[in-house]
Structure 1
């Protein structure tokens, strides 16, 4: 429950940040264009729900080995998407406001097609967050047998909406740079667990059979099905009997990703956190 809550909280705040910047900019004499913003948001949400439901329905029809292969592919995509999200926000946080303002100006600069251009701009910005969420939630739901993951994701979305509106309205001061930094580290750890789990699904699908030596077996001491094992599995990708291949993928992905994420940025970051302007 904790993992989907924190991931969806971050995704929701990213989306709220984008929408808030757009809405704030349009309030400076362009408030009549706000309906186009809402159309773009709703279309992006509809696309995300459609893609998620479609993938879930299609996967339910697969035979066992195909199901395992599908889950492995979804896990790989989810890990890549989560990692790209972390590095994209690390880079874009410094200039996202000016870039969105420039995109709005370009969309409204033409004498015709302004509404369509603004809808498309908002749609693609929000759909990115929505589709990222879809692949992450698919990977998590396939590994979870309870409804806690769904509840955690829903709570994360609801809390992010409240926080996003509070930031936009000026009632909540959140250090976004620090928030995205620490959640970025957390997401990299989660992505490492998802990726190592994908290797296990590839093995069960009959696609990968190398490095299957079991490193240790804690199933009698700390089984993954126990409450603590479930918590460690959700956060760190813990397995009570990991194979050599899973350990290599997990540690390798974690070390390489954290190295590039934690190293100093090439350009100095501004001292203040990104804020909405009214």
Structure 2
């Protein structure tokens, strides 16, 4: 529930910030008359996410076990790809997001097209909506605890809407650079776990060699699939089911946070390590580059001008704060 809550909170806050920027800018321009078009696009994006979730949930029941595993593994890979893209997209475009969105609104108002603002609202929310749907569906499949996982996601989305509204009204101050930094690190770990489970599904479906296929090495002493270094690369890397039962609370917590399962194949472990090492390393380098430079202390001389309370305060680089609908200074 905690993992899906954080996912819903981050993805929902991204969408809330984007919508808040658009609403505030239209209000500043005095064009609140076109807000229904924007909200229509947002509503269509939400409907799309719900439809995709319903199709994935109920459509899989009519498939065979192998087809279900193949579908689950493929969609989990797609979710990992989308999450990875969104992590770096937010990291790269955070500084210019507000200016880019306002430029799109200006062009839409200049052309006067009815569908232009609908499309802006739709695209702004559909990215996070589809990504969240795929990620949550993959996590529900791996956890097997649909009610708790969905409840956590719903609470996260509600909290994101409240935070987005408070930020837009100027009622809350939040260092978005720090927020998206920490949640970005969390999403890297979550995506690595989803990738590991995708490998598990594809191995069960026979699409990848592993412990469920004829490629699995057999322990001559027990006749079971080998475990440990002797099982590399298509056997079990480790088997801790005796110490950590798969259905226990500890197993659920570890899987939700770091993608750990009591029994994992070598392909799963290698995929997890490579993803965290490569993607996490690139993400960390981007975070270090985006850190604000230390500002030198002002010289204490007669020519220095003290900063008055009304002077503007420098904002560290990061995702822009949403201006108040009443305008910005």
TM range (shorter): over 0.9
Q: Is the 1:65–1:204 contact (alpha carbons within 8 Å) kept by the matching residues of 2?
A: yes
Q: In 1, distance between residues paired with 2:151 and 2:290? A: 39
Equivalent position of 2:14 in the other structure: 14
Q: In 2, distance between residues paired with 1:268 and 1:150? A: 35
Equivalent position of 1:116 in the other structure: 115
Q: In 2, distance between residues paired with 1:267 and 1:2? A: 28
Q: In 2, distance between residues paired with 1:86 and 1:55? A: 24
Equivalent position of 1:234 in the other structure: 256
State the Cα deviation string for residues 54-88 of structure 1 (Å, max 9, x = none): 22222221101001111101111111111111111
Q: In 1, distance between residues paired with 2:234 and 2:245? A: 19
Residue 267 (structure 1) shift: 6.9
**Relative to structure 2, which stretch is displaced further, 252-261 or 237-246?**
237-246
Residue 272 (structure 1) shift: 4.9
Q: In 1, distance between residues paired with 2:321 and 2:208? A: 47
- Give the alignment of 1:87-236 within 5 angstroms: 87-110=88-111, 112-113=112-113, 115-146=114-145, 147-210=147-210, 211-236=233-258
**Relative to structure 2, which stretch is displaced further, 181-190 or 219-228?**
219-228
Largest Rg, 1 or 2: 2
Name whichever structure is richer in helix by fraction: 1
State the Cα deviation string for residues 15-44 of structure 1 (Å, max 9, x = none): 000000001101111111111111111111
Equivalent position of 1:276 in the other structure: 322
Q: In 2, distance between residues paired with 1:51 and 1:145? A: 19
Q: In 1, distance between residues paired with 2:208 and 2:285? A: 33
Q: Is the 2:192–2:275 contact (alpha carbons within 8 Å) kept by the matching residues of 1?
A: yes
- Structure 1 spans left out of the alignment, 5+ residues: none
Q: In 2, distance between residues paired with 1:250 and 1:154? A: 27
Residue 178 (structure 1) shift: 0.6
Equivalent position of 1:260 in the other structure: 282
State the Cα deviation string for residues 215-247 of structure 1 (Å, max 9, x = none): 222111122321111100111111112111111
Q: Is the 1:224–1:233 contact (alpha carbons within 8 Å) kept by the matching residues of 2?
A: no
Q: Is the 1:44–1:127 contact (alpha carbons within 8 Å) kept by the matching residues of 2?
A: yes
Q: In 2, distance between residues paired with 1:178 and 1:204? A: 39
Equivalent position of 1:55 in the other structure: 56
Number of aligned residues: 276
- Structure 2 spans left out of the alignment, 5+ residues: 211-232, 293-314, 325-329
Q: Is the 1:212–1:245 contact (alpha carbons within 8 Å) kept by the matching residues of 2?
A: yes
Q: Structure 2-normalised TM-score?
A: 0.81
**Relative to structure 2, which stretch is displaced further, 252-261 or 141-150?**
141-150
Q: Is the 1:224–1:238 contact (alpha carbons within 8 Å) kept by the matching residues of 2?
A: no
Q: Is the 2:91–2:286 contact (alpha carbons within 8 Å) kept by the matching residues of 1?
A: no
Residue 7 (structure 1) shift: 0.5
Q: Structure 1-normalised TM-score?
A: 0.95
Residue 271 (structure 1) shift: 1.8
Q: Is the 1:72–1:197 contact (alpha carbons within 8 Å) kept by the matching residues of 2?
A: yes
Q: In 2, distance between residues paired with 1:16 and 1:125? A: 9
